[in-house]
Amino acid sequence: MLFVKKLLVTNCCAIAIMSRSRILLATPITSYGVLRDAAMHSDCFMAWDKRAEFVRLYNDTMGKLTWGNGTYHRMEDDGRVNSLIR
């Protein structure tokens, strides 16, 4: 999880993401426009009914990319993204 130093707007609940909030930063997966370049509270992500589908879609898209250093990104069920060697 990341710690942020400024106020961010979130679409996951009515609580603003504040400094030192535990958040998941979303990636630009267009099927989830509400999350595009946005953030979500970790607790909201864990309770989200579309979490498993989002993780699968992330891994099916971003996980297929191999970066210049030979690594790829894999999202775990809890939203953590690991950089792994192919």
- Residue identified by tokens 């504040």 is 18
Range of the domain at 31: 2-85
pTM: 0.69
Q: What is the pLDDT of residue 54?
A: 83
Query: For position 85, what pLDDT does the model report?
Result: 96
Cα–Cα dist 72/43, whole Å: 26
Q: Which of 34, 83, 74, 35 is nearest to 55 (CA)?
A: 74
Judging by DSSP bridges, how do beta strands 81-85 and 71-75 pair with one another?
Answer: antiparallel
If you ran DSSP here, which 8-state letter would residue 62 be given? G
Q: What is the pLDDT along the chain (86 residues), one digit of tens a residue?
A: 444 444 444 556 777 766 666 666 655 555 554 445 567 778 888 888 888 888 888 898 889 999 999 999 999 999 888 999 99
Q: Which residues contact 76 (CB under 8 A, 6 or more apart)?
A: 55, 82
Number of compact structural domains in the chain: 1
